[in-house]
Structure 1
Amino acid sequence: MNRPALEIVDPGLQTTVQAWPGRRGLTALGYFPSGPMDHLSFRAANVLVGNAAGAPALEVPKMGLSIAFLVETQVAVTAPAGTGIYVNDTPAPAWETIAVHPGDVLRTVNATNPGFRLYLAVRGGIIAPTIFGSAATSLISGIGGIEGRALVRGDLLAAADRPPIQPRRLPESMRPSVVTDWEVEILPGPHGSPHYLTETDWQELLTRQWRVDLNSDRVSTRLNPHRFTWARPDGGIAGGHPSNVLDDAYPVGGVLANGDVLTILGMDGNTSGGFAVVATVPHCALWKVGQMRPGRDTIRFREIDYDEALALNKRVDFTVDPSRTVTVT
């Protein structure tokens, strides 16, 4: 039996064990991939403790967490600027390897600063069962992580035994910029203009400022209602509203038109349904959706093409390459 490495003292809002890239290739079986909402910060946290980028680690929404360590190990917290990180009430750095000892208590706090999620990786990676190819927690299907659920007070988590590493830091210039007013890249379609939205609708989509609704979570990021003109009067045999389509597969990051409400499908989203997907947030920009604070932040969409999406993906991968870290002496 694996020796516990840490105990959850206060799990915060909905802390889960996640792994990247999640359960790929299973949408036909009804599983979205799960995994971290902000894959950039998640991968960076693992790199900073010498793990593989996708090793199981903690996703902490709204920044609140308190954990006690039962062994000597190293951790890293990747968090938006201004997040309070404390070990035994002494401030500790984000985006840097932190040494902890048995009995130490790490606490994170953020009430008002931009951003919504932080990630905590433990040297060796948190041990969780692999289900359908991943240890990522899916709260919808109740699998992965710790019993397929959010963590609760008293949970004991084990980590694989790995030798200590030389402490590392990701330079500030390489860290993602977390804001309250976001520019989010999108690719058109698959149900875009001119067959679903009009050209005027598409321009409205790109030029309007959209507010992130309070009712947003890992399933979807809901935006404020807006009535488009639409290029057709109704959905035909699919339904009365023009956004209705015959059931179709949904992509991760799909901008779904649920009637007059747009939602961005998250990592625990639905795999299919009967609403038009008017645009798609590419992989390179999904981390931004993961850091949007419900009820406060706003979005403007920027159209890009496939080649630019690939180039931006390479930039994200460059950021989390272990060679980008610097040694802390």
Structure 2
Amino acid sequence: MIEVIKPGLETCIQDWPGRIGYLNQGFPPSGPMDSWSFRLANLLVGNHAGDAAIECQYVGPVLKLHSDAIIAITGANMHPTLDGEPIPLWESVAVSAGATLTLSKPPQAGVRTYVAISGGIDADPWLSSRSTFAKAKVGGVSGSALRAGDRLKWNAGKGTAGRRVKPSARPPVEGGSPWTIEVVRGPNDDWIDEAGHDRFLSSDWKLSGKSDRTGFRLEGPQWTFTEKAYSKEPEHGSEPSNIVDQGYPIGAINLAGQTPIILVNDGPSMGGFINPYTVPSAAFWKLGQSRPGEIYRFKTVSIDEAQQMARALTVICQEDSIA
């Protein structure tokens, strides 16, 4: 059992790839923001890459383990300690019953840290996933971020201490701003004129503090539109970025008036704004490790290139990356 002494900031249970197949019912996938770090944490402790684990952000929790365990911590460096003694990231570590794990020091680079335990967190699945979707109060522990006094169980595991992720297989979390974020044009790129596209791709975009696991709001220059954004039927709405309600892909850059919002893991499934670009899933780890005030620079890739990025990341997140 793990006892939550201090919960940290919106620490929650997630699994990967999350709640797949229910977006048409209004339930997004949720899951880890940085699936690269998440999957490697699980592999370190002998789990399947997608088993339920803990996601921390900005300030992590203080946890007391009441049984012997094998754990691993990846992602941003919150300077974890066991009973006050530093422990390494990207390595499986043996923990004795009664030890206290602390991750309460904010990282200097990156945002999110992952804690995996051999056997995986034992939480009741909801729509085939243990991922927390706090806005609907489902998944994880009672559908919410962890709270002081929560007690987590885990399944029996076969992890061993001393396994390490090869340096070449770790995401460059400390690369920091400016971040180059890949995007695919569409589905509504034909509503933006060429000057608008050029401006989007050549400008610096600042991540706003008004961002969360639903959407990442960006600050930058004005958008300009094609004629179809103005010469449209009334049901499309009055603003040039309005459109008849449509489905939103995960990763869509949703243009609400003049404000682009990247729809991330807990984002809405539909609405009445255009989506000129979409961030592919393999680039999400960069979003998950960026912080308000940092700069995004966008780079277009084709659908084939986006799919190749996802395949390459899957290859990295396998046992061959563990030494």
TM-score range, shorter chain: over 0.9
Residue in 2 that maps onto 1:152: 147
Residue in 2 that maps onto 1:29: 25
Residue in 1 that maps onto 2:242: 244
Residue in 2 that maps onto 1:266: 264
Within the candidate set 272, 275, 285, 2:273 is matched to: 275
Shift of 1:64: 2.1
- Could you give the per-residue CA deviations for residues 122-180 of structure 1, whole angstroms, max 9, x where no partner exists? 11000011111111111121111101001001110000012342531002221111212
The residue type paired with residue 316 of structure 1 is L
The residue type paired with residue 269 of structure 1 is G
1:323 maps to 2:294: no
Shift of 1:236: 3.9
Residue in 1 that maps onto 2:88: 93
Structure 2: give runs of 5+ residues left out of the alignment.
none
1:19 maps to 2:12: no
1:70 maps to 2:70: no
- Could you give the per-residue CA deviations for residues 186-210 of structure 1, whole angstroms, max 9, x where no partner exists? 0001000xx3000111111111010
Percent identity over paired residues: 35
Residue in 1 that maps onto 2:311: 314
**Equivalent-residue separation in structure 1 for 2:135 and 2:191 (angstroms):** 30
1:298 maps to 2:295: yes
1:222 maps to 2:217: yes
Does the 8 Å CA contact 2:192/2:224 hold for their aligned counterparts?
A: yes
Within the candidate set 157, 171, 175, 1:176 is matched to: 171
Residue in 2 that maps onto 1:162: 157
Does the 8 Å CA contact 2:46/2:158 hold for their aligned counterparts?
A: no
Shift of 1:260: 0.6
Compare 138-147 and 109-118 and name the one that shifted more.
Answer: 109-118
**Equivalent-residue separation in structure 2 for 1:127 and 1:22 (angstroms):** 15
Does the 8 Å CA contact 1:63/1:118 hold for their aligned counterparts?
A: no
The residue type paired with residue 258 of structure 1 is A
TM-score (norm 1): 0.94
Residue in 2 that maps onto 1:51: 47
The residue type paired with residue 141 of structure 2 is I
SS at match of 1:205: helix
Shift of 1:104: 0.7
**Equivalent-residue separation in structure 2 for 1:261 and 1:125 (angstroms):** 39
SS at match of 1:256: strand
Within the candidate set 115, 119, 124, 1:124 is matched to: 119
**Equivalent-residue separation in structure 2 for 1:212 and 1:196 (angstroms):** 24
The residue type paired with residue 318 of structure 2 is D
Structure 1: give runs of 5+ residues left out of the alignment.
none
CA distance change for structure 1 residues 112 and 28 in 2, over 3 Å: closer, same or farther? Answer: closer
Residue in 2 that maps onto 1:40: 36
The residue type paired with residue 131 of structure 1 is W
SS at match of 1:93: coil
1:60 maps to 2:23: no
Residue in 1 that maps onto 2:75: 79
The residue type paired with residue 245 of structure 2 is D
Aligned residue pair count? 318
1:140 maps to 2:135: yes
1:198 maps to 2:193: yes
CA distance change for structure 1 residues 40 and 201 in 2, over 3 Å: closer, same or farther? Answer: same
**Equivalent-residue separation in structure 2 for 1:206 and 1:153 (angstroms):** 44
Please provide the CA RMSD for this pair. 1.3
TM-score (norm 2): 0.95
Residue in 1 that maps onto 2:106: 111
Shift of 1:319: 1.8
